[in-house]
A and B are shown apart, each in its own frame.
Chain A
């Protein structure tokens, strides 16, 4: 029986290779036939998976990921333990001296972008025209080093490039685990992703329009706040969890520079100029509870709250330019919501809801030493999404998402009531022909479309501009297909 099964295994590998090559060749033919002249080389959202751990522990990708890079229960518990299995073999002293905990990931791809209601030099008036681009492209690249420095001390260094190889640190931190002998006390210091149950860094969408959660980055029209709950931040995180990570809490104390470095600027371009770093501190709180529901699987729910401030007044250099790092006149904002991860057999549902409010001075990009004009008020909006995954098996997943943002109260009186409202739809699939403990390769195909009213579409490639009016709906759609691989 054993011999027969091994023979089956060997035969299947050859069959797999043959089928894969056939599929790849067919896809390339389709790509060649469909290719259109390219206008830009936009980057694709970078996310992460860590074959370095798979190599270290000899586990397949699927042990830690529902479909990489999204973590499953076990992967989340592994991360919560400080990238440790807890079997007294986690310290690097137990590893082969040649082991090098590094992972590289990139996604060569073809994509097509289409944005409506754009003003150009040929069409200068409403409703504008539609701009279409397509071509072969590269994503950015992750080069991730992560592991343990010692038992209960872990680290992560993630230098990331955009697709022109301009580097920055996506994350870099050291984490001390099981302080006082308790898994309920772990401390992380550095630059890291907020402890969102639904991680944007690990999700299964890569296209320009679908490769980001609108709610994680949305800012109302005219608002000077630069905060996005999906952006990595710098600070200290205290985290605790039960042995199986079904119960977790996180408290983070963060610089108000939106993850920037050097204390002088945020990672975002300083546009408007007020987007320079703050000198205050923000707070993030979350609590996760998992419930076993018999044969349906594990259900998780996580309420979260973020409170922060951003400056509105800056010292100025000669000539009037704001002097970075001198912000005062801090005004508050908050995000509060619930995110969940529900399983129904092979279906996974990820609902998310967020209520947001920015102070009137932020909402109007106004210095706090300036009086508010009539009609200026706090900006309030609600947003959410429902994402679903269907796991045909560990090597094939179908994904879909509907997302919306609705303005409840415009802070800026110049905005129309609907300005900033967003509807976004994405669907696609990922097929993992290679999913071993050494490397992974996924064929990724995705279509996404967003409707943004009166604002520039939130898109990873930066394409799209303000429409002619603040009530004009801009439709922006993406088709993307590529080979997403890491080693």
Chain B
């Protein structure tokens, strides 16, 4: 009896101590998530996401989810200065400036909620940002609301209007060859290299908006692109540009048909994937030896 009393006293005493001391500091940890002037919401796939105030049945609103999953890299202030940021390359996104690479909207505009949802769901290949597809749709919607809460841009601006992607024309070798000419003319090779290895003459000088070095995409080894994996994704990438990186938007320089030609050529650079575009191109090259001018000699008009 005495022993049971001691044990129960120990247990309850420990619990009291915990509640007396822990709740104070835990509350302070909660406040490490930066307070915002306006509570943002998001709307994706029929779900309304909230950064705060989820109610009893929705405690895992954005702020809790951000603390659980994101704060280590993106930091409590959402500025990309989490405790692990110093070890990460490329650096985590700074949500306070609300500039995002993967958008369906024109360069310089805010992305749609759907864009952010796709980014969280897909993750970013070749970075430390994993796919969060295991989270529920509601949780991802809440996280988007939290991401939007870090920047006043979301209060003052509306997202851009998504660009229209016309249907993809039939793949032909002529389309690939025209795309190759565009690649040369726009001087894509300056960064991505003539073979798409990411080793063009400007590659070593590239930096992002924060002055951090950033390598161009290496088509030869990449299995996916940062903002998707399909031909539509590739089209969207160079028509909207990757804001905050040196990759510009070519929407003013390319007509839709030309953009699709470029898509078809870029697919031939993905030698590790053995794409149909590459097979077609190789077949043509074998039948027409020596007919192609080497890339990388055109002064061009691109950036």
Kindly list chain B residues whose C-beta atoms are within 8 Å of the C-beta of A112.
3, 6-7, 10
Binds B, one of A69-77, A160-168, A403-411, A463-471: A69-77
Contact A394 B138 (CB under 8 A): no
Residue A217 CB within 8 A of the other chain:
no
Contact A36 B13 (CB under 8 A): no
Kindly list chain B residues whose C-beta atoms are within 8 Å of the C-beta of A88.
125-126, 222-224
Contact A15 B14 (CB under 8 A): no
Known: A12-B28, A74-B132, A114-B3. A23 touches B17 (CB 8 A): yes
Contact of A114 (CB < 8 Å), options: B4, B9, B136: B4
Kindly list chain B residues whose C-beta atoms are within 8 Å of the C-beta of A74.
69, 132, 134-135
Tell me the chain B residues, 78-97 only, with Cβ under 8 Å from chain A: 79, 82-84, 87-88, 96
Residue B64 CB within 8 A of the other chain:
yes
Binds A, one of B50-58, B99-107, B109-117: B50-58
Known: A73-B135, A87-B125, A87-B131. A34 touches B9 (CB 8 A): yes
Kindly list chain A residues whose C-beta atoms are within 8 Å of the C-beta of B130.
57, 78, 85-87
Inter-chain residue pair count (beta carbon < 8 A): 195
Contact A86 B123 (CB under 8 A): yes
Known: A244-B134, A297-B60. A447 touches B11 (CB 8 A): yes
Kindly list chain A residues whose C-beta atoms are within 8 Å of the C-beta of B25.
12, 15-16, 19-20, 433
Contact B136 A34 (CB under 8 A): no
Residue A273 CB within 8 A of the other chain:
no
Q: Specify which of B4, B68, B124 lies most central, judged by the most chain A CB atoms within 10 Å of its CB.
A: B68
Kindly list chain B residues whose C-beta atoms are within 8 Å of the C-beta of A34.
6-7, 9-10
Known: A34-B9, A346-B59. A433 touches B134 (CB 8 A): no
Contact of B18 (CB < 8 Å), options: A23, A36, A86, A132: A23
Kindly list chain A residues whose C-beta atoms are within 8 Å of the C-beta of B68.
60, 62-63, 394
Residue A118 CB within 8 A of the other chain:
no
B14 CB → nearest A CB, Å: 5
Q: How far is the CA of A5 from the CA of B134 in the complex (A)?
A: 30
Q: How far is the CA of A26 from the CA of B18 in the complex (A)?
A: 10
Chain A interface mostly helix, strand, loop or mixed? mixed
Contact A60 B71 (CB under 8 A): yes
Q: How far is the CA of A394 from the CA of B71 in the complex (A)?
A: 12
Contact of A59 (CB < 8 Å), options: B72, B96, B224: B72
B68 CB → nearest A CB, Å: 4
Known: A62-B68, A87-B124. A15 touches B133 (CB 8 A): no
Contact A12 B18 (CB under 8 A): no
Please, which residue of chain A has its CB at the minimum distance from the CB of B13?
Answer: A30
B138 CB → nearest A CB, Å: 6
Contact A58 B18 (CB under 8 A): no
Number of interface residues of A (CB under 8 A): 69
Residue A6 CB within 8 A of the other chain:
yes
Kindly list chain A residues whose C-beta atoms are within 8 Å of the C-beta of B64.
393-394
Residue B76 CB within 8 A of the other chain:
yes
Per-position 1/0 for A84-98, Cβ under 8 A of B? 011111000000000
Contact of B69 (CB < 8 Å), options: A20, A63, A85, A443: A63
Kindly list chain B residues whose C-beta atoms are within 8 Å of the C-beta of A447.
7-8, 11
Residue A344 CB within 8 A of the other chain:
yes
Residue B127 CB within 8 A of the other chain:
yes
Residue B295 CB within 8 A of the other chain:
no
B222 CB → nearest A CB, Å: 7
Contact A295 B54 (CB under 8 A): yes
Per-position 1/0 for A375-396, Cβ under 8 A of B? 0000000000000000011111
Known: A19-B22, A295-B57. A87 touches B4 (CB 8 A): no
Chain B: interface residue count, which band? 35 or more
Contact A23 B21 (CB under 8 A): yes
Contact B29 A86 (CB under 8 A): no
Tell me the chain A residues, 248-301 only, with Cβ under 8 Å from chain B: 292, 294-298
Tell me the chain A residues, 10-35 only, with Cβ under 8 Å from chain B: 11-12, 15-16, 19-20, 22-23, 26-27, 30-31, 34
Residue A214 CB within 8 A of the other chain:
no
Known: A19-B24, A57-B130, A89-B126. A30 touches B136 (CB 8 A): no
Contact of A85 (CB < 8 Å), options: B56, B131, B138: B131
Contact B14 A445 (CB under 8 A): yes
Q: How far is the CA of A13 from the CA of B244 in the complex (A)?
A: 33
Residue B67 CB within 8 A of the other chain:
yes
Q: How far is the CA of A34 from the CA of B12 in the complex (A)?
A: 12
Please, which residue of chain B has its CB at the minimum distance from the CB of A295?
Answer: B58
Residue B128 CB within 8 A of the other chain:
yes
Residue B137 CB within 8 A of the other chain:
yes
Contact A30 B22 (CB under 8 A): no
Residue A245 CB within 8 A of the other chain:
yes
Please, which residue of chain A has its CB at the minimum distance from the CB of B46?
Answer: A294
A311 CB → nearest B CB, Å: 42
Please, which residue of chain B has its CB at the minimum distance from the CB of A2?
Answer: B77
Kindly list chain B residues whose C-beta atoms are within 8 Å of the C-beta of A416.
none
Contact B131 A30 (CB under 8 A): no
Q: Specify which of A2, A85, A245 lies most central, judged by the most chain B CB atoms within 10 Å of its CB.
A: A2
Residue B282 CB within 8 A of the other chain:
no
Q: How far is the CA of A86 from the CA of B223 in the complex (A)?
A: 11
Q: How far is the CA of A298 from the CA of B87 in the complex (A)?
A: 33
Contact A15 B24 (CB under 8 A): yes
Please, which residue of chain A has its CB at the minimum distance from the CB of B142?
Answer: A295
Residue A148 CB within 8 A of the other chain:
no
Residue A424 CB within 8 A of the other chain:
no
Kindly list chain A residues whose C-beta atoms are within 8 Å of the C-beta of B138.
292, 294-295, 297
Kindly list chain B residues whose C-beta atoms are within 8 Å of the C-beta of A394.
64, 67-68
What would be 14 A-B contacts, judged by CB atoms less than 8 Å apart? A5-B32, A5-B34, A12-B32, A23-B21, A30-B10, A30-B13, A34-B7, A34-B10, A36-B3, A62-B68, A73-B134, A112-B7, A345-B60, A393-B67
Q: Known pairs A19-B22, A60-B71, A85-B131; list 20 more (Cβ under 8 Å).
A: A5-B76, A8-B32, A12-B25, A12-B29, A15-B24, A16-B28, A23-B22, A30-B14, A74-B134, A86-B131, A87-B125, A244-B133, A292-B138, A393-B64, A394-B64, A436-B83, A437-B84, A445-B11, A447-B7, A477-B4
3 tightest A-B contacts by CB? A58-B84, A77-B134, A85-B130
